[in-house]
Amino acid sequence: MAAPWQDVVRDAAAVREAAAVAVDAALLAGVLMRTGEQPNASDVVNYAPFTLLPSAVPRPLFEQAYAVQQDFNLLVDAISQNKEFLAQTLASTIKVDDFTARLFQIYMQVLEEGLAQTVFLGINRSDYMFDCGLDGTGALRQIEINTIAASFGGLTSRTADVHRLVLKVLGKNEEASHLLPNNPAKGLALGIAKAWEIYGSQRAVVMFLVEDIQRNIFDQRCVENELWNRNIRVIRRRFRDVFEQGSLDGSRRLYMDGQEVAVVYYREGYVPQTYDQQNWEARLLLERSRAVKCPDIATQLAGTKKVQQELSRPGTLEKLLPGRPEAVARIRATFAGLYSLDEGEEGDRITATAIADPDSFVLKPQREGGGNNLYGEELRQVLEKIKDSPERTSYILMDKIKPQPALNYLLRAHSPLRVSECISELGIFGVYVRQGQELVLNQAAGHLLRTKAIEHADGGVAAGVAVLDTPYLV
């Protein structure tokens, strides 16, 4: 399944020439990030890291990932409406994990008060790796589904053009013409616009809830600009701004400095470090409001690693998606082995197995954003330490996926040009809108391919490990 340019990978002169073209093309196309030195200024910016060459992706697995996306949208939406399932699934986790507990507390609080929100918008990204089995046939394996702040839909809408040009420079015109168009920014904006429209107030704005440090602003701007093109007003605010200026009226409409907010699109709020007492209060205010939250707190909880693990238990999907056996089968076909570490015999057994064979597993806490998982020797040490303590419950275990590496160049500002053995992770963006009980939009909205050198076990683009890529279907 190698891409048809493994011949040029070792041609130093051709690679140097193509890399120079690629970097300038990325800058021209707007594949941009702010710098680490000046993360909140656009005076000096750089290109977001990306691969020199598109990476090979098996066509059947790519198509499988697209084909299951609407099912995953349905599933996430169903979980978010199933209080009993969320409460049961997270019961052990919230005893030991403060962050999940805090989110869960807000969830219960807004349910008790009664939801003011009637329109629901989900934007998620389901991520996969291609496991190469012993017989060499690859299998699509879900790594996780991100239900909050799934990023890079904007920048990746511009990477295919860059790679098309690179292939032409390398004399691969025919292959260049096969690179697929891809525009998640448009798809995400379509969902946001639909939710805004159903909310039904011409004057109301869409609020991007953003981080204090905004290096990845251009990715968000791609989506923002699609909304402006539709004459929808966009504002950017932080939790702190919501705490200071946000308010609800008598029917729990949300106002930010006098402007009504129809949709709150979170690009923040998924790590504990975000929240001090005031920011928790701001989060609660948003969740209590009538505004469409993307995602609402229930949908954020639906994206926890603990929920992912429980979904893999026999019978769970059937209960969550009754009467949809085909959807259940498509979803299940993407699952890797996932194991609960809850106290009891089942947890004891898998803990012992993982300690004996740590390289076959990944140990995951209830965290997002990369860099939190444990592998190999570190996994073994941590499991040894916590195996008899309730702390074990805050993690899940997962089979380690082992993709076939391929050679590529990771282009990163201020880094030397050198060949790396790489593996890729494919993400499919999903968008859906529900009005009351009726699903009015359910789509796959495009894809993201991220590639990293094999020496890194963990980590995404924002974490400085993976880079943007474009799939070349083989």
Would you please indicate which residues are annotated as catalytic (active-site) residues? 125, 144, 146, 151, 305, 364, 368-369, 450
323 burial level (CB within 10 Å; 0-12, 13-18, 19+)? exposed
Segment interacting with ligand ADP (CB under 6 A) among 221-229, 271-279, 310-318, 396-404: 396-404
x/- map, 433-472, ligand ADP, by CB under 6 A: -------------------------xxx------------
325: cis peptide before it, omega within 30°? Answer: no
Q: Quick check: 303 binds ligand ADP (CB under 6 A)? A: no
- Which residues are documented as binding site for ATP? 144, 305, 364-373, 375, 398-401, 425, 452, 458
Three-state secondary-structure class, residue 188: helix
DSSP per-residue letters across 260-283: EEEEEEESS--SGGG--HHHHHHH
Q: Quick check: 71 binds ligand ADP (CB under 6 A)? A: no
Cα separations in angstroms, 212 against 49, 107, 238, 277: 22, 24, 7, 16
x/- map, 247-286, ligand ADP, by CB under 6 A: ----------------------------------------
- Which residues are documented as binding site? 125, 144, 146, 148-151, 214-216, 220, 267-270, 305, 364-373, 375, 398-401, 425, 450, 452, 458, 461-462
Which residue is it, tokens 């995602």? 295
Binder to ligand ADP among 172, 283, 306, 400 (CB under 6 A)?
400
Binder to ligand ADP among 48, 123, 341, 401 (CB under 6 A)?
401
Cα separations in angstroms, 368 against 1, 279, 300: 31, 18, 11
Closest CA to 261 of 295, 292, 223: 292
Q: Quick check: 163 binds ligand ADP (CB under 6 A)? A: no
CA 193 to CA 107: how far, in whole Å?
25
Q: Quick check: 336 binds ligand ADP (CB under 6 A)? A: yes
Q: Quick check: 144 binds ligand ADP (CB under 6 A)? A: yes
Cα separations in angstroms, 169 against 4, 53, 173, 456: 15, 11, 8, 30
Based on CB atoms, which residue is closest to ligand ADP, 149 or 204?
A: 149
Q: Quick check: 398 binds ligand ADP (CB under 6 A)? A: yes
| Cα atoms in the 13 Å half-sphere on the side-chain side of 288 | 20
Q: Quick check: 425 binds ligand ADP (CB under 6 A)? A: yes
Q: Following CA atoms 99, 112, 123, 294 in sequence, which dihedral angle do they give, to the nearest 10 degrees?
A: -90
- Which residues are documented as binding site for substrate? 125, 148-151, 214-216, 220, 267-270, 450, 461-462
Q: Which amino acid is at 93?
A: T
Q: What's the min distance (Å) between Cβ of 439 and ligand ADP?
A: 26
Based on CB atoms, which residue is closest to ligand ADP, 73 or 373?
A: 373
Q: Quick check: 334 binds ligand ADP (CB under 6 A)? A: no
| Cα atoms in the 13 Å half-sphere on the side-chain side of 71 | 22
Q: Quick check: 369 binds ligand ADP (CB under 6 A)? A: yes
Q: Quick check: 373 binds ligand ADP (CB under 6 A)? A: yes
Q: What's the min distance (Å) between Cβ of 422 and ligand ADP?
A: 12
Task: For CA atoms 85, 87, 91, 96, give the dihedral sign.
Answer: positive
- Which residues are documented as binding site for Mg(2+)? 144, 146, 368
Q: Which are the contacts of 259, defined by CB distance < 8 A and separation ≥ 6? A: 203, 204, 205, 233, 235
| Residues near ligand ADP (CB under 6 A) | 127, 143-144, 336, 362, 364, 368-370, 372-373, 398-401, 425, 458-460
